[in-house]
Amino acid sequence: MKIKTKPYDPALFIKTEEDIAHYLNKAYLDEDPRVFLIALGDIAKIKGIAKVAEAAGLNRKSLYKVFSGKVQPRWNTIQMVMKALGCKLTVT
């Protein structure tokens, strides 16, 4: 018997600010830094890419490239996106 699978869509599970924080924290702890970028992109898509791009002062098309996991964005780009999403990075 074959098992049917569907692509994971975080939008089905991430509903609250606490969900967002948990999702991003888990992604940040992954040893592959692209996982965090993809997770940040998932949150931006949930919030609306165009809205996030405008709030961050970035081009929407460029934002999609950043979140693809195929390019290595500059740190200030990540900071602008996190600020636009209302996220803060803390060190403990």
pLDDT tens, residue by residue, 3-41: 998 888 888 899 999 999 999 999 999 999 888 988 999
**pTM for this entry:** 0.85
Helix (H) or strand (E) holding 15: none
pLDDT band for 89, please (50, 70, 90 cuts): confident
- Cα–Cα dist 25/20, whole Å: 8
Instruction: Please check the confidence at residue 83 and state whether its pLDDT lies above 90.
Output: yes
pLDDT band for 62, please (50, 70, 90 cuts): confident
Closest of 40, 8, 10, 12 to residue 24, by C-alpha = 40
- CATH class held by domain 16-85: mainly alpha
